[in-house]
């Protein structure tokens, strides 16, 4: 159990530190930054789908006594992330109506992204409780998804009038909820026998929703054949990373 705690905490601390990536983008040419995000999103799609279908779902079905129950948990994960996204978008739309956007935006980052990062921490913890390769695969998938998001969060805070230092502080604060989520996941996982049986399909459903509903539609906006080919290669790279992690089993 001690190793699971060590691996999980290292992973979520790394995920939390991604919130500092925003400051790096300030010194990078905007067109280069956009291309980098474009590639990262494509790799994230492959990694999220790959982790869901190559690691999480096979592990979930092998641990469960009933395929129907596991399938229902997968769908529950999809619905849960749909509801979470609805909440985040409602919060975002609500703050745009305020006369002073700075404090509401800070509140949205803390509540919305903090809640998202809390779930990420629990997902990573649940994965490490199953195996090291699964934990690493889930951590990589979360990191690749979080990188573009953290850059966007930093840009939103700057646009709202925050200084760079305050924007970094708010981003780091919301990202640190992943550590809280991981600790909750490890404690609950140690005391609840079926914790991983439930969390694995929920995580798979969440990853499928994020990749299919949030990220793929963004990639579909690109019409240039050369960029579309780059997307396919990057997505394949994400899937390939997940396949390579099978070698650790």
How confident is the model over 96-108, as pLDDT tens digits? 444 444 445 555 5
Structure tokens at 126: 């649940």
Structure tokens at 86: 């609805």
d(Cα 247, Cα 44) in Å, to the nearest integer? 20
d(Cα 108, Cα 240) in Å, to the nearest integer? 35
Structure confidence at residue 141 (pLDDT): 92
Q: How confident is the model at residue 57 (pLDDT cuts 50, 70, 90)?
A: very high
How confident is the model over 171-199, as pLDDT tens digits? 888 889 999 999 999 999 988 878 888 99
DSSP characters over 90-108: HHHHHHTT-SS-HHHHHHH
How confident is the model over 204-237, as pLDDT tens digits? 999 999 899 888 988 888 888 888 899 999 999 9
d(Cα 117, Cα 179) in Å, to the nearest integer? 8
How confident is the model over 80-139, as pLDDT tens digits? 888 877 776 654 444 444 444 444 555 555 567 788 889 899 999 999 999 999 999 999
Residue predicted with more confidence, 52 or 96: 52
Q: Which residues contact 164 (CB under 8 A, 6 or more apart)?
A: 23, 26, 158
Structure confidence at residue 215 (pLDDT): 87
Whether the CB-CB separation of 163 and 18 falls below 8 Å is answered with no
Structure confidence at residue 93 (pLDDT): 45
Using the predicted structure, report yes or no on whether residue 249 has a pLDDT greater than 90.
no
Structure confidence at residue 91 (pLDDT): 46
Average pLDDT score, the chain: 83
- Nearest C-alpha neighbor of 74 from the set 89, 58, 90, 50: 58
């Amino acid at each position: 159990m001690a190793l699971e705690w060590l691996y999980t905490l290292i992973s979520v601390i790394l995920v939390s530190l991604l919130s500092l990536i925003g400051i790096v983008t300030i010194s990078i040419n905007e067109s280069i930054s956009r291309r980098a995000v474009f590639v990262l999103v494509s790799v994230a799609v492959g990694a999220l789908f790959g982790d869901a279908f190559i690691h999480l779902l096979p592990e979930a079905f092998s641990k469960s006594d009933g395929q129907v129950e596991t399938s229902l948990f997968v769908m529950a994960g999809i619905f849960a992330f749909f509801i979470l996204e609805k909440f985040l978008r409602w919060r975002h739309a609500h703050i745009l109506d305020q006369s002073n956007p700075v404090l509401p935006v800070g509140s949205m980052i803390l509540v919305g992204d903090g809640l998202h990062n809390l779930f990420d921490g629990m997902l990573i913890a649940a994965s490490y409780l199953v195996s090291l390769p699964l934990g690493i695969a889930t951590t990589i998938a979360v990191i690749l998804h979080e990188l573009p998001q953290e850059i966007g969060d930093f840009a939103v805070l700057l646009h709202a009038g925050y200084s760079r230092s305050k924007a970094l502080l708010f981003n780091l604060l919301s990202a640190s909820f992943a550590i809280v989520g991981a600790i909750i996941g490890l404690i609950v996982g140690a005391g609840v026998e079926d914790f991983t049986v439930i969390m694995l399909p929920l995580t798979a459903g969440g990853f499928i929703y994020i990749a299919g509903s949030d990220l793929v539609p963004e990639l579909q906006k690109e019409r240039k054949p050369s960029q579309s080919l780059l997307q396919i290669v990057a997505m394949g790279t994400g899937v390939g990373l997940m396949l390579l992690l099978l070698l650790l089993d």
